[in-house]
Amino acid sequence: MRTIKTALLAALVCTGFAGSLLADPSEDLFNKTHKGAKEAKVAADWYDALPAWVNSLTSKNNFPTTHLPYDIVKGKLKNSKEVNKFEIRDANAKQFSAYLMVLNGTDGNGLPVYEKTNDYGWLAWKGWPAKYIVETYPVEANSETADLVAFGAWLYGEKENELANRVLTVAHEKDKELAPLIEAYICDKEKWELPATGMQLWNAWDAEYQKERSILVTPEEHDKRLKEREKAAESDYKDIVSARGDYKGRPPRRSSPSKQLVLLQWEIKQYKIAYASSDFLKDTKVTDKLQEITDSITDDLALIKDNMEVARNMGADGDANELKKKAEFMEEVLKIDPMDLNLRSQVGNAWYIWGNPAPHGNSCDRADGMKKAIPHYEIIIKAYPNNTAFLLALGRCYQALEDSKHARVYYEKVIEIDGTKGNAVTAKALIRNMDMADQTRAKQGK
């Protein structure tokens, strides 16, 4: 048996295949970058050093930011379907403190601007998702290619192949001596055949961070992704057209937009960047349609602005009839852009003001106003479940309608979020008033 194996190996050497069978791309790469350390150790050492790197920044009052799938509830991080932005201000070997940041408008490029808050919680390092570590850890600006290789190895260990490739592609561009070893390593991880002519760059637009991202792929993978991009361009185009709904003629129209108009406008801009090189977008019918939609959005946004100026002056003297007309007028304006939650909140508030709940909360002047405000507020809190101002307003609507069961749900949510401060103080007072009214009604047999 040994003789057969020896003969087979000799034959493979003669035909040039032995090197490909025996070579270990990771071993070759880490021999060069980490003095022959094993891949698992290189990855583990990089991750073990992450707390020290963060601490080196925070100790100098340089606070890195990151996104996390958490929210702050009663001083603790709670899992959230929404991803929020945080600032890391303290770090030790076991955990770091994450301070919530809130959106405060946009910059000149339309990118979101955030401001700091004092709401924070502590998070164990394992709770920091890999894709958000990539967002925070220096990659493009990192001059240590060995560190980038180690980071890439850790990401592969986390099954974040696309991110690992992205990090290693940066190292590949920085160090031409390492380039062939990195290519072999990536192909080994992806189960691709290493091309004799070398790998190619695949570029994709990252709309979230407004950057073009590059990864290394084989020619075959490059062609595959080109085909997928063409399909995606057509699919995303159809989504945009569908989301716009009917936009011809005066509102109200047959079908409303399923996305907020300014967000749809933003998506069209990003679409044009992402698929600029696609054959699909070179079709003039497609580009003309996108321009038509863009123009229609501009017109509708201007119409909303003009109408809201008109609404602002309605009911200024507090006349109940005028306040009702204002709310009805704003309902029609909302039909132009029903996914605009800020506009919807103004409509809900207009009905709330017309309804005029009593200061003690147990009654109102016009029940219809409270009833019509409720569906608007309910839509808003689905998107912002921890906004205590809207939760409180919703509770007051139900309390004014003598629906203590539903009112209590929202008041208790306010207290859970705000604790002993903010809107929780008002919520507790309203609960006391509500309980007293319920007791009175019970005694009167109502």
CATH of the domain at 423: 1.25.40.10
Tell me, yes or no, whether 149 and 130 share the same domain: no
Tell me, yes or no, whether 148 and 34 share the same domain: yes
Distance between CA 134 and CA 142 in Å, rounded? 12
User: Tokens 């009593």 identify what position?
Assistant: 358
Tell me, yes or no, whether 28 and 123 share the same domain: no
372 lies in some domain = yes
415 lies in some domain = yes
Q: With beta carbons less than 8 A apart as the criterion, state whether 97 and 120 touch.
A: yes
Query: Max alpha carbon distance in the chain (Å)?
Result: 104
As a dihedral over the C-alpha atoms of residue 370, residue 346, residue 342, residue 110, rounded to 10 degrees, the angle is 180
Domain end marker among 199, 217, 235: 217
The residue segments making up the domain with residue 379 are: 333-443
Instruction: Output the pLDDT for position 408.
Output: 97
Instruction: Output the pLDDT for position 302.
Output: 96
Output the pTM of the full model: 0.81
Tell me, yes or no, whether 118 and 87 share the same domain: yes
428 lies in some domain = yes
Q: How far is CA 187 from the centre of its chain?
A: 31
Domain end marker among 79, 110, 136: 136
393 lies in some domain = yes
Tell me, yes or no, whether 37 and 148 share the same domain: yes
Tell me, yes or no, whether 425 and 288 share the same domain: no
Classify residue 192 by its DSSP letter.
P
10 lies in some domain = no
Structural domains of the chain, count = 4
Distance between CA 76 and CA 162 in Å, rounded? 32
- β-pairing, 65-73 vs 76-91, is antiparallel
313 lies in some domain = no
Tell me, yes or no, whether 120 and 200 share the same domain: no
Classify residue 174 by its DSSP letter.
H
- β-pairing, 200-206 vs 211-217, is antiparallel
323 lies in some domain = no
Instruction: Output the pLDDT for position 39.
Output: 96
327 lies in some domain = no
Neighbours of 38 (CB within 10 A): 13
Tell me, yes or no, whether 345 and 428 share the same domain: yes
Tell me, yes or no, whether 337 and 431 share the same domain: yes
Encode the chain (446 residues) as per-residue pLDDT tens digits: 433 333 433 333 343 343 444 468 888 999 999 999 999 999 999 999 999 999 999 999 999 999 999 998 878 899 998 899 999 999 999 999 999 998 777 676 666 788 889 999 999 999 999 999 999 999 999 999 999 999 999 999 999 999 999 999 999 999 999 999 999 999 999 999 999 999 999 999 998 888 999 999 999 999 999 999 999 999 999 999 999 999 998 888 889 999 999 999 999 999 999 999 999 999 999 999 999 999 999 999 999 999 999 999 999 999 999 999 999 999 999 999 999 999 999 999 999 999 999 999 999 999 999 999 999 999 999 988 889 999 999 999 999 999 999 999 999 999 998 888 899 999 999 999 999 999 988 888 75
Specify the 3-state DSSP secondary structure of 53.
Answer: helix
Domain end marker among 268, 285, 305: 305
Tell me, yes or no, whether 363 and 422 share the same domain: yes
Instruction: Output the pLDDT for position 443.
Output: 84
Q: What Cα–Cα distance (Å) separates residue 135 from each residue in 55, 128, 176? A: 17, 11, 25
User: Tokens 């290693």 identify what position?
Assistant: 168
Count the alpha carbons within 13 Å of 65 in the hemisphere toward its beta carbon: 11
Tell me, yes or no, whether 155 and 31 share the same domain: yes
Tell me, yes or no, whether 434 and 352 share the same domain: yes
Distance between CA 315 and CA 327 in Å, rounded? 10
